[in-house]
A and B are shown apart, each in its own frame.
Chain A
Amino acid sequence: MSTPPAPIDTITRSVAVAEARQRRRPFRPRRMLLGLAGVLTFLLIWEIASRTGLVGPTYLPPASVSVLTMFTNAGLSGFWVAVGQTITSWGLGMLLALALSVPLGVFIGLSPLLQKATRSTVEFLRPIPSVGLIPLAVLLFAVPLQQSLLIVTYGAFWQVFIQVLYGVADVDSVAMSTARSFGFTRWQRIRDVVFPTMLPYLLTGIRLAASVALILAITAELVIGTPGLGNQIALAKEAGLYASTYALVLATGLLGMIINVGVRALEHRLLGWHQSVRGEVAA
Protein backbone atom coordinates (compact mmCIF):
# COMPACT_ATOMS: atom_id res chain seq x y z
CA MET A 1 0.00 0.00 0.00
CA SER A 2 1.40 3.38 -0.90
CA THR A 3 0.72 6.33 1.32
CA PRO A 4 0.15 9.56 -0.58
CA PRO A 5 3.06 11.96 -0.06
CA ALA A 6 2.40 13.70 3.22
CA PRO A 7 2.47 17.47 3.32
CA ILE A 8 5.31 18.96 5.28
CA ASP A 9 3.55 19.07 8.52
CA THR A 10 5.00 17.49 11.62
CA ILE A 11 1.82 15.87 12.84
CA THR A 12 0.90 14.18 9.57
CA ARG A 13 4.47 13.15 9.12
CA SER A 14 4.81 11.51 12.49
CA VAL A 15 1.51 9.73 11.88
CA ALA A 16 2.81 8.46 8.54
CA VAL A 17 6.04 7.30 10.16
CA ALA A 18 4.13 5.54 12.92
CA GLU A 19 1.88 3.85 10.36
CA ALA A 20 4.81 2.68 8.32
CA ARG A 21 6.45 1.30 11.45
CA GLN A 22 3.28 -0.48 12.36
CA ARG A 23 3.00 -2.16 8.99
CA ARG A 24 6.51 -3.41 9.29
CA ARG A 25 6.07 -4.81 12.76
CA PRO A 26 4.59 -8.28 12.02
CA PHE A 27 7.85 -9.42 10.47
CA ARG A 28 10.15 -10.11 13.38
CA PRO A 29 13.03 -12.39 12.42
CA ARG A 30 14.27 -12.61 16.01
CA ARG A 31 11.00 -14.06 17.10
CA MET A 32 10.93 -16.61 14.31
CA LEU A 33 14.52 -17.67 14.97
CA LEU A 34 13.87 -18.11 18.67
CA GLY A 35 10.80 -20.18 17.90
CA LEU A 36 12.77 -22.33 15.50
CA ALA A 37 15.47 -22.78 18.14
CA GLY A 38 12.77 -23.93 20.55
CA VAL A 39 11.55 -26.59 18.13
CA LEU A 40 15.12 -27.74 17.44
CA THR A 41 15.88 -27.96 21.18
CA PHE A 42 12.86 -30.16 21.67
CA LEU A 43 13.85 -32.48 18.83
CA LEU A 44 17.43 -32.58 20.14
CA ILE A 45 16.34 -33.56 23.66
CA TRP A 46 14.17 -36.28 22.15
CA GLU A 47 17.04 -37.51 19.99
CA ILE A 48 19.50 -37.58 22.90
CA ALA A 49 17.03 -39.21 25.31
CA SER A 50 16.53 -42.01 22.81
CA ARG A 51 20.12 -42.44 21.58
CA THR A 52 21.62 -42.54 25.08
CA GLY A 53 19.02 -45.04 26.21
CA LEU A 54 17.65 -42.67 28.85
CA VAL A 55 14.23 -43.88 27.75
CA GLY A 56 14.11 -47.34 26.16
CA PRO A 57 15.04 -46.76 22.48
CA THR A 58 12.62 -49.51 21.45
CA TYR A 59 9.72 -47.60 22.93
CA LEU A 60 10.99 -44.16 21.99
CA PRO A 61 12.64 -44.18 18.57
CA PRO A 62 14.92 -41.18 17.95
CA ALA A 63 13.33 -37.98 16.71
CA SER A 64 15.16 -38.20 13.38
CA VAL A 65 13.72 -41.65 12.67
CA SER A 66 10.18 -40.61 13.65
CA VAL A 67 10.25 -37.43 11.59
CA LEU A 68 11.65 -39.36 8.61
CA THR A 69 8.89 -41.92 9.00
CA MET A 70 6.40 -39.07 8.92
CA PHE A 71 7.77 -37.92 5.58
CA THR A 72 7.72 -41.48 4.25
CA ASN A 73 4.09 -41.73 5.38
CA ALA A 74 3.27 -38.55 3.51
CA GLY A 75 4.19 -40.39 0.32
CA LEU A 76 1.80 -43.27 0.99
CA SER A 77 -1.79 -43.14 -0.14
CA GLY A 78 -2.96 -45.09 2.93
CA PHE A 79 -1.91 -42.23 5.16
CA TRP A 80 -3.90 -39.69 3.16
CA VAL A 81 -6.93 -41.95 3.11
CA ALA A 82 -6.78 -42.03 6.92
CA VAL A 83 -6.39 -38.24 7.06
CA GLY A 84 -9.38 -37.93 4.75
CA GLN A 85 -11.48 -40.20 6.94
CA THR A 86 -10.62 -38.21 10.05
CA ILE A 87 -11.37 -34.90 8.35
CA THR A 88 -14.65 -36.27 7.00
CA SER A 89 -15.97 -37.19 10.43
CA TRP A 90 -14.63 -33.93 11.82
CA GLY A 91 -16.21 -31.81 9.10
CA LEU A 92 -19.56 -33.58 8.99
CA GLY A 93 -19.76 -33.46 12.79
CA MET A 94 -19.05 -29.73 12.76
CA LEU A 95 -21.67 -29.10 10.07
CA LEU A 96 -24.29 -31.08 11.95
CA ALA A 97 -23.45 -29.34 15.21
CA LEU A 98 -23.69 -25.92 13.52
CA ALA A 99 -26.94 -26.75 11.76
CA LEU A 100 -28.48 -27.79 15.07
CA SER A 101 -26.99 -25.30 17.49
CA VAL A 102 -27.27 -21.99 15.64
CA PRO A 103 -31.04 -21.99 14.94
CA LEU A 104 -31.77 -23.52 18.34
CA GLY A 105 -29.50 -21.04 20.09
CA VAL A 106 -31.08 -18.04 18.34
CA PHE A 107 -34.58 -19.35 18.99
CA ILE A 108 -33.97 -19.97 22.69
CA GLY A 109 -31.76 -16.92 23.15
CA LEU A 110 -34.41 -14.54 21.83
CA SER A 111 -36.97 -15.68 24.35
CA PRO A 112 -36.19 -14.92 28.00
CA LEU A 113 -38.85 -17.41 29.04
CA LEU A 114 -37.35 -20.28 27.04
CA GLN A 115 -33.90 -19.33 28.25
CA LYS A 116 -34.93 -19.57 31.87
CA ALA A 117 -36.77 -22.81 31.26
CA THR A 118 -33.88 -24.53 29.52
CA ARG A 119 -31.04 -23.33 31.74
CA SER A 120 -31.02 -26.21 34.22
CA THR A 121 -31.23 -28.84 31.48
CA VAL A 122 -28.41 -27.22 29.52
CA GLU A 123 -26.24 -26.93 32.61
CA PHE A 124 -26.76 -30.59 33.27
CA LEU A 125 -26.29 -31.96 29.75
CA ARG A 126 -23.31 -29.82 28.82
CA PRO A 127 -20.72 -31.23 31.24
CA ILE A 128 -21.51 -34.86 30.33
CA PRO A 129 -18.21 -35.93 28.81
CA SER A 130 -19.07 -36.94 25.27
CA VAL A 131 -16.66 -39.88 25.48
CA GLY A 132 -19.15 -41.33 27.95
CA LEU A 133 -21.40 -41.71 24.93
CA ILE A 134 -18.97 -44.04 23.17
CA PRO A 135 -20.61 -47.25 24.42
CA LEU A 136 -24.00 -45.81 23.52
CA ALA A 137 -22.82 -44.92 20.03
CA VAL A 138 -21.51 -48.45 19.55
CA LEU A 139 -24.84 -49.94 20.55
CA LEU A 140 -27.05 -47.57 18.60
CA PHE A 141 -25.26 -47.43 15.26
CA ALA A 142 -23.72 -50.14 13.19
CA VAL A 143 -21.98 -47.80 10.77
CA PRO A 144 -18.65 -46.52 12.15
CA LEU A 145 -19.09 -43.05 10.63
CA GLN A 146 -22.39 -42.61 12.48
CA GLN A 147 -20.78 -43.67 15.74
CA SER A 148 -18.09 -41.02 15.32
CA LEU A 149 -20.63 -38.43 14.25
CA LEU A 150 -22.78 -38.86 17.35
CA ILE A 151 -19.81 -38.21 19.61
CA VAL A 152 -18.29 -35.38 17.56
CA THR A 153 -21.61 -33.62 17.09
CA TYR A 154 -22.54 -33.87 20.75
CA GLY A 155 -19.21 -32.41 21.85
CA ALA A 156 -19.16 -29.60 19.28
CA PHE A 157 -22.86 -28.76 19.71
CA TRP A 158 -22.53 -27.38 23.24
CA GLN A 159 -19.51 -25.21 22.49
CA VAL A 160 -21.36 -23.41 19.68
CA PHE A 161 -24.74 -23.40 21.40
CA ILE A 162 -23.47 -21.68 24.55
CA GLN A 163 -21.62 -19.04 22.55
CA VAL A 164 -24.71 -18.35 20.42
CA LEU A 165 -26.71 -17.84 23.62
CA TYR A 166 -24.11 -15.36 24.88
CA GLY A 167 -24.12 -13.61 21.51
CA VAL A 168 -27.89 -13.25 21.38
CA ALA A 169 -27.89 -11.96 24.96
CA ASP A 170 -25.41 -9.28 23.88
CA VAL A 171 -27.78 -7.77 21.29
CA ASP A 172 -28.41 -4.11 22.04
CA SER A 173 -32.01 -3.74 23.20
CA VAL A 174 -32.24 -0.21 21.76
CA ALA A 175 -31.19 -1.50 18.34
CA MET A 176 -33.75 -4.28 18.65
CA SER A 177 -36.58 -1.87 19.60
CA THR A 178 -35.57 0.48 16.81
CA ALA A 179 -35.71 -2.34 14.30
CA ARG A 180 -39.10 -3.33 15.63
CA SER A 181 -40.50 0.18 15.40
CA PHE A 182 -39.21 0.46 11.84
CA GLY A 183 -41.35 -2.53 11.06
CA PHE A 184 -38.59 -5.08 10.47
CA THR A 185 -40.00 -8.56 10.18
CA ARG A 186 -38.78 -11.20 12.58
CA TRP A 187 -36.51 -12.66 9.93
CA GLN A 188 -35.04 -9.24 9.09
CA ARG A 189 -34.39 -8.55 12.76
CA ILE A 190 -32.53 -11.81 13.11
CA ARG A 191 -30.55 -11.25 9.94
CA ASP A 192 -29.67 -7.58 10.35
CA VAL A 193 -29.57 -7.01 14.11
CA VAL A 194 -29.01 -10.31 15.90
CA PHE A 195 -26.66 -11.98 13.45
CA PRO A 196 -23.94 -9.28 13.28
CA THR A 197 -23.85 -9.02 17.08
CA MET A 198 -23.75 -12.75 17.43
CA LEU A 199 -21.10 -13.40 14.78
CA PRO A 200 -17.97 -12.83 16.95
CA TYR A 201 -19.40 -15.12 19.62
CA LEU A 202 -20.38 -17.68 17.01
CA LEU A 203 -16.86 -17.71 15.59
CA THR A 204 -15.38 -18.14 19.07
CA GLY A 205 -17.74 -21.08 19.48
CA ILE A 206 -16.64 -22.52 16.14
CA ARG A 207 -12.99 -22.15 17.11
CA LEU A 208 -13.53 -23.98 20.39
CA ALA A 209 -15.72 -26.59 18.72
CA ALA A 210 -13.23 -27.22 15.92
CA SER A 211 -10.52 -28.40 18.31
CA VAL A 212 -12.95 -30.34 20.50
CA ALA A 213 -14.40 -32.03 17.41
CA LEU A 214 -10.96 -33.09 16.20
CA ILE A 215 -10.12 -34.50 19.65
CA LEU A 216 -13.36 -36.46 19.67
CA ALA A 217 -13.05 -37.69 16.08
CA ILE A 218 -9.60 -39.09 16.81
CA THR A 219 -10.70 -40.47 20.17
CA ALA A 220 -13.57 -42.33 18.54
CA GLU A 221 -11.12 -43.82 16.05
CA LEU A 222 -8.75 -44.78 18.82
CA VAL A 223 -11.33 -46.38 21.09
CA ILE A 224 -14.03 -47.73 18.76
CA GLY A 225 -11.74 -48.40 15.83
CA THR A 226 -13.51 -46.20 13.30
CA PRO A 227 -11.12 -45.91 10.35
CA GLY A 228 -8.92 -42.82 10.44
CA LEU A 229 -5.72 -41.46 11.95
CA GLY A 230 -6.59 -42.52 15.50
CA ASN A 231 -7.17 -46.07 14.39
CA GLN A 232 -3.88 -46.03 12.47
CA ILE A 233 -2.08 -45.03 15.68
CA ALA A 234 -3.66 -47.89 17.59
CA LEU A 235 -2.80 -50.33 14.78
CA ALA A 236 0.80 -49.12 14.50
CA LYS A 237 1.26 -49.53 18.22
CA GLU A 238 -0.27 -53.02 18.25
CA ALA A 239 2.00 -54.03 15.38
CA GLY A 240 5.06 -52.75 17.24
CA LEU A 241 5.79 -50.11 14.60
CA TYR A 242 6.74 -47.56 17.21
CA ALA A 243 8.45 -45.08 14.88
CA SER A 244 5.25 -45.05 12.85
CA THR A 245 3.19 -44.50 16.02
CA TYR A 246 5.15 -41.37 16.87
CA ALA A 247 5.09 -40.19 13.27
CA LEU A 248 1.30 -40.45 13.29
CA VAL A 249 1.08 -38.58 16.60
CA LEU A 250 3.17 -35.81 15.06
CA ALA A 251 0.82 -35.82 12.08
CA THR A 252 -2.26 -35.40 14.30
CA GLY A 253 -0.53 -32.44 15.97
CA LEU A 254 0.13 -30.87 12.58
CA LEU A 255 -3.47 -31.49 11.52
CA GLY A 256 -4.65 -29.82 14.73
CA MET A 257 -2.41 -26.83 14.05
CA ILE A 258 -3.65 -26.51 10.47
CA ILE A 259 -7.24 -26.54 11.68
CA ASN A 260 -6.47 -23.89 14.32
CA VAL A 261 -4.76 -21.64 11.80
CA GLY A 262 -7.59 -22.15 9.31
CA VAL A 263 -10.29 -21.21 11.78
CA ARG A 264 -8.29 -18.17 12.91
CA ALA A 265 -7.96 -17.03 9.31
CA LEU A 266 -11.71 -17.46 8.84
CA GLU A 267 -12.28 -15.38 11.97
CA HIS A 268 -10.03 -12.65 10.64
CA ARG A 269 -11.80 -12.56 7.29
CA LEU A 270 -15.32 -12.49 8.64
CA LEU A 271 -14.60 -10.12 11.51
CA GLY A 272 -12.38 -7.61 9.75
CA TRP A 273 -14.87 -4.94 10.76
CA HIS A 274 -14.96 -5.94 14.41
CA GLN A 275 -13.08 -4.28 17.25
CA SER A 276 -11.37 -7.47 18.43
CA VAL A 277 -9.67 -7.98 15.06
CA ARG A 278 -9.04 -4.32 14.26
CA GLY A 279 -7.66 -3.84 17.77
CA GLU A 280 -5.26 -6.74 17.26
CA VAL A 281 -3.86 -5.19 14.09
CA ALA A 282 -3.39 -1.77 15.64
CA ALA A 283 -1.86 -3.01 18.89
Chain B
Amino acid sequence: MRKILTAIGFALALPVILILIWWLISLGTTSIFMPKPDQLLREFFETWVGDRFFTDVLPSLARFAIGTGVAIVFGILIGLLVGLSRNLRDYTEPIFEFFRAIPPPVLIPVFGLLIGVSDQMKVVVIAAGAIWPVLLNTIEGVRGVDSVQSETSRSYGIHGIARVRFQVMPAAAPSILAGVRQALPIGIILMVISEMFFSSSGLGFSIIQFQRRFAIPEMWSGILMLGLIGYAVSMIFKVVERRLLHWYYGLKDIENAA
Protein backbone atom coordinates (compact mmCIF):
# COMPACT_ATOMS: atom_id res chain seq x y z
CA MET B 1 0.00 0.00 0.00
CA ARG B 2 2.75 2.44 0.98
CA LYS B 3 4.63 1.46 -2.12
CA ILE B 4 1.70 2.27 -4.37
CA LEU B 5 1.17 5.61 -2.63
CA THR B 6 4.80 6.68 -3.06
CA ALA B 7 4.66 5.61 -6.70
CA ILE B 8 1.57 7.75 -7.26
CA GLY B 9 3.26 10.57 -5.37
CA PHE B 10 6.30 10.43 -7.63
CA ALA B 11 4.14 10.29 -10.74
CA LEU B 12 2.05 13.31 -9.75
CA ALA B 13 4.49 15.57 -7.93
CA LEU B 14 6.27 17.14 -10.89
CA PRO B 15 3.18 17.65 -13.08
CA VAL B 16 1.42 19.31 -10.12
CA ILE B 17 4.41 21.58 -9.48
CA LEU B 18 4.65 22.50 -13.17
CA ILE B 19 0.96 23.30 -13.39
CA LEU B 20 1.25 25.41 -10.24
CA ILE B 21 4.15 27.37 -11.72
CA TRP B 22 2.22 27.83 -14.94
CA TRP B 23 -0.80 29.02 -12.97
CA LEU B 24 1.26 31.47 -10.92
CA ILE B 25 2.89 32.93 -14.03
CA SER B 26 -0.39 33.19 -15.87
CA LEU B 27 -1.94 35.02 -12.90
CA GLY B 28 0.32 37.99 -13.41
CA THR B 29 0.21 38.31 -17.19
CA THR B 30 -2.54 39.36 -19.46
CA SER B 31 -0.89 37.78 -22.47
CA ILE B 32 -3.53 36.26 -24.67
CA PHE B 33 -1.10 33.58 -25.80
CA MET B 34 -1.04 31.95 -22.41
CA PRO B 35 -4.35 30.68 -21.07
CA LYS B 36 -4.73 29.82 -17.39
CA PRO B 37 -4.84 26.10 -16.56
CA ASP B 38 -8.46 26.16 -15.37
CA GLN B 39 -9.48 28.13 -18.44
CA LEU B 40 -7.72 25.61 -20.67
CA LEU B 41 -9.42 22.70 -18.96
CA ARG B 42 -12.84 24.32 -19.32
CA GLU B 43 -12.12 25.11 -22.94
CA PHE B 44 -10.93 21.58 -23.52
CA PHE B 45 -14.24 20.09 -22.43
CA GLU B 46 -16.28 22.78 -24.14
CA THR B 47 -14.44 22.32 -27.42
CA TRP B 48 -13.97 18.62 -27.68
CA VAL B 49 -16.86 17.02 -25.80
CA GLY B 50 -19.90 17.08 -28.01
CA ASP B 51 -20.29 17.43 -31.75
CA ARG B 52 -16.65 18.08 -32.47
CA PHE B 53 -15.72 14.74 -31.05
CA PHE B 54 -17.72 13.04 -33.80
CA THR B 55 -16.99 15.46 -36.63
CA ASP B 56 -13.27 16.00 -36.01
CA VAL B 57 -11.68 13.64 -33.52
CA LEU B 58 -13.23 10.35 -34.64
CA PRO B 59 -12.60 10.81 -38.39
CA SER B 60 -9.00 11.75 -37.64
CA LEU B 61 -8.54 8.70 -35.47
CA ALA B 62 -10.18 6.48 -38.10
CA ARG B 63 -7.83 7.73 -40.81
CA PHE B 64 -4.88 7.21 -38.50
CA ALA B 65 -6.02 3.69 -37.56
CA ILE B 66 -6.69 2.56 -41.14
CA GLY B 67 -3.53 4.11 -42.56
CA THR B 68 -1.23 2.77 -39.87
CA GLY B 69 -3.00 -0.60 -39.92
CA VAL B 70 -2.46 -0.92 -43.66
CA ALA B 71 1.19 0.10 -43.20
CA ILE B 72 1.74 -2.52 -40.50
CA VAL B 73 0.08 -5.37 -42.43
CA PHE B 74 1.84 -4.63 -45.72
CA GLY B 75 5.10 -3.79 -44.00
CA ILE B 76 5.19 -7.19 -42.32
CA LEU B 77 4.04 -9.11 -45.43
CA ILE B 78 6.51 -7.49 -47.81
CA GLY B 79 9.20 -7.56 -45.14
CA LEU B 80 8.80 -11.33 -44.70
CA LEU B 81 8.91 -11.88 -48.42
CA VAL B 82 12.01 -9.75 -48.95
CA GLY B 83 13.71 -10.85 -45.75
CA LEU B 84 13.50 -14.53 -46.64
CA SER B 85 15.24 -14.18 -50.00
CA ARG B 86 18.77 -12.88 -50.16
CA ASN B 87 18.52 -11.93 -53.82
CA LEU B 88 15.33 -9.98 -53.28
CA ARG B 89 16.96 -8.26 -50.34
CA ASP B 90 19.94 -7.11 -52.38
CA TYR B 91 17.63 -6.12 -55.21
CA THR B 92 15.40 -3.87 -53.10
CA GLU B 93 17.86 -2.50 -50.55
CA PRO B 94 19.00 0.76 -52.20
CA ILE B 95 15.53 1.72 -53.36
CA PHE B 96 14.02 1.02 -49.92
CA GLU B 97 16.78 3.02 -48.26
CA PHE B 98 16.00 5.90 -50.58
CA PHE B 99 12.27 5.81 -49.86
CA ARG B 100 12.89 5.69 -46.17
CA ALA B 101 15.08 8.76 -46.43
CA ILE B 102 12.36 10.85 -48.09
CA PRO B 103 10.72 12.88 -45.33
CA PRO B 104 7.13 11.52 -45.31
CA PRO B 105 5.36 14.93 -45.19
CA VAL B 106 6.81 15.61 -48.63
CA LEU B 107 4.49 12.88 -49.88
CA ILE B 108 1.44 14.98 -49.06
CA PRO B 109 1.69 17.38 -52.04
CA VAL B 110 2.72 14.47 -54.28
CA PHE B 111 -0.21 12.26 -53.36
CA GLY B 112 -2.40 15.34 -53.51
CA LEU B 113 -1.42 15.54 -57.18
CA LEU B 114 -1.77 11.84 -57.90
CA ILE B 115 -4.94 10.94 -56.05
CA GLY B 116 -6.61 14.28 -55.48
CA VAL B 117 -7.97 15.61 -52.24
CA SER B 118 -9.96 12.96 -50.40
CA ASP B 119 -10.02 10.83 -47.29
CA GLN B 120 -8.51 8.07 -49.35
CA MET B 121 -5.49 10.22 -50.13
CA LYS B 122 -4.89 10.93 -46.44
CA VAL B 123 -5.02 7.24 -45.63
CA VAL B 124 -2.58 6.51 -48.46
CA VAL B 125 -0.22 9.23 -47.22
CA ILE B 126 -0.29 7.83 -43.69
CA ALA B 127 0.26 4.28 -44.93
CA ALA B 128 3.04 5.30 -47.33
CA GLY B 129 4.92 7.15 -44.60
CA ALA B 130 4.44 4.68 -41.76
CA ILE B 131 5.27 1.54 -43.74
CA TRP B 132 9.08 2.07 -43.89
CA PRO B 133 10.08 1.48 -40.29
CA VAL B 134 7.87 -1.63 -40.15
CA LEU B 135 9.15 -2.94 -43.47
CA LEU B 136 12.84 -2.37 -42.81
CA ASN B 137 12.70 -3.68 -39.26
CA THR B 138 10.87 -6.80 -40.43
CA ILE B 139 13.56 -7.43 -43.05
CA GLU B 140 16.23 -6.90 -40.40
CA GLY B 141 14.40 -9.20 -37.99
CA VAL B 142 13.94 -11.99 -40.53
CA ARG B 143 17.57 -11.69 -41.55
CA GLY B 144 18.70 -11.97 -37.96
CA VAL B 145 16.91 -15.28 -37.39
CA ASP B 146 19.24 -17.74 -35.71
CA SER B 147 20.82 -19.95 -38.38
CA VAL B 148 20.99 -22.99 -36.09
CA GLN B 149 17.24 -22.65 -35.62
CA SER B 150 16.72 -22.51 -39.38
CA GLU B 151 18.87 -25.59 -39.91
CA THR B 152 16.93 -27.41 -37.23
CA SER B 153 13.56 -26.60 -38.72
CA ARG B 154 14.84 -27.62 -42.13
CA SER B 155 16.05 -31.00 -40.87
CA TYR B 156 12.71 -31.56 -39.17
CA GLY B 157 10.99 -30.86 -42.48
CA ILE B 158 9.29 -27.65 -41.38
CA HIS B 159 8.71 -25.57 -44.54
CA GLY B 160 6.69 -22.73 -45.97
CA ILE B 161 3.87 -21.29 -43.92
CA ALA B 162 4.55 -23.46 -40.90
CA ARG B 163 8.16 -22.32 -40.77
CA VAL B 164 7.16 -18.67 -41.08
CA ARG B 165 4.44 -19.07 -38.49
CA PHE B 166 6.38 -21.00 -35.86
CA GLN B 167 10.01 -20.11 -36.42
CA VAL B 168 10.51 -16.89 -38.37
CA MET B 169 7.67 -14.81 -36.95
CA PRO B 170 8.47 -15.38 -33.26
CA ALA B 171 12.17 -14.81 -33.88
CA ALA B 172 11.54 -11.58 -35.79
CA ALA B 173 8.74 -10.34 -33.51
CA PRO B 174 10.87 -8.11 -31.23
CA SER B 175 12.31 -6.14 -34.12
CA ILE B 176 8.97 -6.04 -35.99
CA LEU B 177 7.39 -4.48 -32.92
CA ALA B 178 10.26 -2.02 -32.62
CA GLY B 179 9.38 -0.98 -36.18
CA VAL B 180 5.71 -0.61 -35.29
CA ARG B 181 6.66 1.59 -32.36
CA GLN B 182 8.51 3.94 -34.72
CA ALA B 183 5.65 3.87 -37.20
CA LEU B 184 2.98 5.08 -34.76
CA PRO B 185 4.25 8.65 -34.23
CA ILE B 186 4.88 8.98 -37.97
CA GLY B 187 1.25 7.99 -38.51
CA ILE B 188 0.05 10.66 -36.08
CA ILE B 189 2.32 13.31 -37.61
CA LEU B 190 1.03 12.55 -41.10
CA MET B 191 -2.56 12.49 -39.92
CA VAL B 192 -2.18 16.00 -38.50
CA ILE B 193 -0.25 17.50 -41.39
CA SER B 194 -2.41 16.00 -44.12
CA GLU B 195 -5.38 17.62 -42.41
CA MET B 196 -3.55 20.91 -42.05
CA PHE B 197 -2.96 20.84 -45.78
CA PHE B 198 -6.31 20.14 -47.26
CA SER B 199 -9.29 19.13 -45.30
CA SER B 200 -12.61 20.29 -44.03
CA SER B 201 -12.56 18.25 -40.88
CA GLY B 202 -10.16 16.67 -38.47
CA LEU B 203 -7.90 17.65 -35.63
CA GLY B 204 -5.15 19.22 -37.71
CA PHE B 205 -7.69 21.28 -39.62
CA SER B 206 -9.37 22.48 -36.40
CA ILE B 207 -6.10 23.50 -34.77
CA ILE B 208 -5.07 25.56 -37.79
CA GLN B 209 -8.52 27.13 -37.89
CA PHE B 210 -8.30 28.11 -34.22
CA GLN B 211 -4.89 29.61 -34.75
CA ARG B 212 -6.03 31.66 -37.76
CA ARG B 213 -9.03 32.97 -35.81
CA PHE B 214 -6.78 33.75 -32.83
CA ALA B 215 -8.89 31.41 -30.72
CA ILE B 216 -5.86 30.76 -28.54
CA PRO B 217 -7.34 28.73 -25.67
CA GLU B 218 -9.10 26.48 -28.18
CA MET B 219 -5.84 26.06 -30.08
CA TRP B 220 -4.06 25.07 -26.86
CA SER B 221 -6.84 22.60 -26.11
CA GLY B 222 -6.31 21.08 -29.55
CA ILE B 223 -2.61 20.63 -28.85
CA LEU B 224 -3.55 19.07 -25.50
CA MET B 225 -5.90 16.71 -27.34
CA LEU B 226 -3.08 15.69 -29.69
CA GLY B 227 -0.85 15.06 -26.69
CA LEU B 228 -3.49 12.89 -25.06
CA ILE B 229 -3.95 10.88 -28.27
CA GLY B 230 -0.20 10.41 -28.65
CA TYR B 231 0.04 9.33 -25.03
CA ALA B 232 -2.90 6.92 -25.34
CA VAL B 233 -1.50 5.37 -28.51
CA SER B 234 1.92 4.78 -26.93
CA MET B 235 0.30 3.30 -23.80
CA ILE B 236 -1.89 0.93 -25.85
CA PHE B 237 1.15 -0.10 -27.82
CA LYS B 238 3.06 -0.84 -24.61
CA VAL B 239 0.30 -3.14 -23.37
CA VAL B 240 0.03 -4.94 -26.71
CA GLU B 241 3.81 -5.31 -26.94
CA ARG B 242 3.99 -6.77 -23.43
CA ARG B 243 1.28 -9.28 -24.32
CA LEU B 244 2.79 -10.32 -27.63
CA LEU B 245 6.32 -10.50 -26.32
CA HIS B 246 5.73 -11.78 -22.78
CA TRP B 247 7.96 -14.77 -23.51
CA TYR B 248 10.71 -12.46 -24.74
CA TYR B 249 10.64 -10.23 -21.69
CA GLY B 250 10.51 -13.31 -19.48
CA LEU B 251 13.63 -14.60 -21.19
CA LYS B 252 15.41 -11.27 -20.78
CA ASP B 253 14.50 -11.09 -17.09
CA ILE B 254 15.99 -14.54 -16.56
CA GLU B 255 19.12 -13.57 -18.49
CA ASN B 256 19.50 -10.35 -16.52
CA ALA B 257 19.01 -12.14 -13.23
CA ALA B 258 21.64 -14.73 -14.07
Q: A residues bordering B, Cβ < 8 Å?
A: 30-31, 34-39, 42, 55, 59-60, 116-121, 123-136, 138-140, 211, 214-215, 218-219, 222-223, 230, 233-234, 237, 242, 245-246, 249, 252-257, 259-260
Contacts and interface: CB of A to CB of B under 8 A. Distances in A.
B103 A35 contact: no
Given A39-B95, A117-B10, A121-B15, A252 B103 contact: yes
Nearest to B93: A35
A215 B13 contact: no
Contacts of A125: 227
B113 A59 contact: yes
A150 to B, nearest CB: 13
Contact of B14 (A42, A118, A127): A118
B226 A218 contact: no
Chain A interface secondary structure, helix, strand, loop or mixed? helix
Nearest to A59: B113
Contacts of A119: 10-11
B227 A124 contact: yes
A211 B93 CA distance: 18
Contacts of A136: 219, 223
Interface string B72-94: 00000000000000010011111
Interface stretch (B45-53, B148-156, B163-171, B229-237): B229-237
B129 to A, nearest CB: 9
Interface string B185-200: 1001100110011000
13 contacts: A34-B90, A129-B189, A132-B192, A215-B104, A219-B105, A222-B105, A230-B103, A233-B109, A237-B109, A237-B112, A252-B103, A259-B101, A260-B101
Contacts of A129: 185, 188-189, 192, 226, 230
B14 A120 contact: yes
Contacts of B102: 249, 252-253, 256
B18 interface: yes
A134 to B, nearest CB: 7
Contact of A116 (B10, B90, B105, B110): B10
**Consensus secondary structure, chain B interface:** helix
A8 B222 CA distance: 76
Contacts of A139: 33, 211, 216, 219
Contacts of A230: 103, 105-106
Contacts of B11: 119-120
A236 B2 CA distance: 63
Interface in B88-132: 90-95, 97-110, 112-114
Contact of B91 (A35, A117, A126, A140): A35
Interface in B199-258: 204, 207-208, 210-211, 216, 219, 222-223, 226-227, 230-231, 233-234
A129 B225 CA distance: 11
Given A38-B95, A129-B226, A223 B193 contact: yes
Given A38-B92, A38-B95, A134-B196, A127 B234 contact: yes
B103 A135 contact: no
A178 B73 CA distance: 50
Contacts of B107: 249
A132 B207 contact: yes
Q: Which 10 A-B pairs have the closest CB atoms?
A: A256-B101, A127-B230, A135-B211, A253-B102, A34-B90, A128-B227, A120-B11, A132-B226, A215-B103, A35-B94
A42 B96 CA distance: 11
Nearest to B8: A120
Contacts of A233: 106, 109
Given A38-B91, A42-B95, A237-B109, A138 B211 contact: yes
